[in-house]
Structure 1
Amino acid sequence: MREKYRGFWLKAEDGHDIYLHAWDQVDNPRGILQIFHGMAEHGKRYEGFAQYMNEHGFIVYADDHRGHGRTAGSLENIGYIGEDGFNKLVQDEYLISKFLKEKYPWLPLFIVAHSFGSFVAQEYIIRYGWGINGLVLSGSAAMNTLKAKLGYILASIERLIHGEKYRSRFLDWLSFGTFNRRIKNNPSKFAWLSTDEKEVRKYEEDPYCGGIFTTGFFYYLSRGFLGLYRPERLANLPKDLPILIIAGEEDPVGEYGRLVKRLYNIYKEAGCQNVDLKLYPGKRHELFNEVNREEVYADVLNWLDCITGK
């Protein structure tokens, strides 16, 4: 009997070892999904979604980003993505895309990117969007430029004073400290992730999830934000790339839908011709771990069916 899951290592351009999760035992596959996971988590958390997509003809791969999961090398390294880490993550994902296209040259390639991974994907499609067949952005947003500049300045100061590997409770609070404010009697600091309390507990109990990240992480991420929405860079977007943006209406990352709609409008104003948006009432940040996740899975599948012409 074939194993439905396997893990393996892939060497990045700079020699860094990247860990990949693969759900690739699919009879008569019709496409590949490459998952970009979020901050303070890892690729194995998408197993339920991957198995669902396997059943409907899609091969699925998800890496552990630098500073995350098994790629970090140890729990002590979780949260440190290295010098120029945001750009290196983008390059890692492009390397994985090339690996998948060489392995399955006859299959279309789609990216599914969540939260922090969605910002990596926003940069990815500016550089390499012509090489994929579609993109799903989950828990994403158009970052507020003024907030991004302030974050960059503060992260620069913390980095200068404490160094890149310093775990900044201040920057963590600045990023996430208000995320539970609309949740009454919240049982967890991570309640904003999902209305499914079992999934929130799983996150809390996972040693690879939820830690305080380093000043270097916040510095390179905020620097990356500053280049995402410049008109001259958005002009590089492939105008015919299908994009699906999904988010919970109670997701604080997208300011409860406001910054999600802004992202949709940015892409439409940039000339992208095939952009769809769906907001889920009452749902929070991790749609793939929400109480209605089967609905979310089916919505992504239906969108893929439209793209592939099934």
Structure 2
Amino acid sequence: MASHAGAAVPEPRTIVADDGWPLAVRHWAGEQPRAIVIVVHDLRDHTGRHNRWAKHLADSGVDVVACDLRGHGETTHAVDHGMVEPRPVWRTLIADIGRVRRYALAELGVKPVFLVGLGDAGTDLVQSAVQAQGRQYAGAVLIGPGGVGRPRRTLMRWLSRLGYGCRGPTASATWLDRWPARVYQRRAGHKRGVARDASGSPTMWRMCAVEPAAAYAADPLCGGVLRLQTLAGVLAGAAEAGRRSRRLRVPPELPVLILAGRRDPVGQQGRQPRRLARQLTNDGYRDVSHYCYDGAGHDLLFESAGDDVLADLITWIDRRLTAAG
């Protein structure tokens, strides 16, 4: 892979969402692009962090477009990070994904559009987006799916709704927001020994590679605490996306690619992504591919296996474009 570690991050361009909210969008231009890839980042993340691999993906012949979610990155002022508004939170985020798709087609021309979700929240958002607008996409890619599990998620949703009912939607509860991270830290510690504590960061569960995990912890646009209204809305939306009745809304011919790390505590060391692939196949999806990478954690594209992950993603896109003619 050509190195783009020092390449300049594209300046964000502001587009207007359906409800008038400004959204910060970045575009990595491909040479003679055959397709458009829209990237949906994880919570507590932002598009600028993904410059290296997005540039390499663009070099393979696709246009890459990514939007900072509401409450994140350049879309929202730092003082309001962690707050997604207006309600309903999940539907607002799904509508923004649709708006980015329309912007990309208008600016870059009509091409097949692939939707790529990163992390547990990004992959849940992508699943909801294709459940609502599946025929608008040429394929869906889920990188690092997983979660805390249904019982914990249900309890967290109830506690967050109770919290913002008592304290207001903009209030936050650090202990509740960081509960999943504590769960993932325990899972990671069981599998990785003391390596997770190398930088003293509570985000070490995200990656096996120490330097990228430390860079994430040092990035002022990463991490943070979600507001109670946002946390409740995200948990509700993720639960809805996982229901079989919702999965059956996706066109069965839509290709789906699932990429996971075998040391990812969010995906229970690869078990949850494997279970998801089996569920989709049993639901009648005709084209489900699943790859699991040894020695890789949650942020797959920042691990030592990142080059292999990206190569598999590019190959998968090329084959779907070839098959579609």
| TM-score, with structure 1 as normaliser | 0.93
Q: Where does residue 55 of structure 1 map in the other structure?
A: 59
Return the match for 1:200 from 194, 213, 231.
213
Residues of 1 paired with 2:242 and 2:212: CA distance? 33
Query: Which residue number in structure 2 is paired with residue 76 of structure 1?
Result: 79
Q: Which runs of 5+ in 1 are unaligned?
A: none
Q: Deviations 1:221-263 (Å, cap 9, x if unpaired)?
A: 1111231233332221110111100111111111222221221
Q: Secondary structure at the match of 1:178?
A: helix
Which of these residues, 274, 279, 282, is aligned with residue 261 of structure 1?
A: 274
Q: CA deviation at 1:143?
A: 6.8
Q: Distance in 2 between matches of 1:252 and 1:142?
A: 9
Question: Who is 1:18 aligned against?
Answer: 23
Aligned to 1:251: 264
Work out which of the residue numbers 173, 176, 181 in structure 2 matches 1:176: 181
User: Which one of 287, 292, 311 corresponds to residue 298 of structure 1?
Assistant: 311
Deviation at 1:134, TM superposition (A): 0.8
CA contact (8 A) 1:126 1:237 kept: yes
CA shift for structure 1 position 4: 8.1
Aligned partners of 1:41 and 1:104: how far apart in 2?
Answer: 26
1:160 has 2:169 as partner:
no
Q: 2:151 matched to which residue of 1?
A: 146
User: Which residue number corresponds to residue 95 of structure 1?
Assistant: 99
Counterpart AA for 2:160: A
Distance in structure 2 (CA, Å) of the matches to 1:174 and 1:201 = 20
Query: Is the 1:171–1:218 contact (alpha carbons within 8 Å) kept by the matching residues of 2?
Result: no
Give yes or no for contact 1:142–1:262 (8 Å, CA) kept in 2: no
Q: Is the 8 A contact 1:168 1:215 kept in 2?
A: yes
Amino acid at match of 1:273: R
Residue 129, structure 1, aligned to residue 134, structure 2: yes
1:266 aligned counterpart, secondary structure: helix
CA contact (8 A) 2:125 2:238 kept: no
Deviation at 1:215, TM superposition (A): 1.0
Relative to the length of structure 2, the TM-score reads 0.89
Amino acid aligned to 2:177? D
How many angstroms apart in 1 are the aligned matches of 2:31 and 2:243? 43
Amino acid at match of 2:24: Y
Task: Measure the CA separation in 2 of the matches of 1:262 and 1:49.
Answer: 27
AA of the residue aligned to 2:224: G
Q: What RMSD over aligned residues (CA atoms) do the two structures have, in Å?
A: 1.7
Q: Which amino acid aligns with 1:46?
A: H
Identity of aligned residues (%): 25
Q: What amino acid is the match of 2:149?
A: N
Paired letter, 2:133: Y
User: Cα offset for 1:142?
Assistant: 7.0
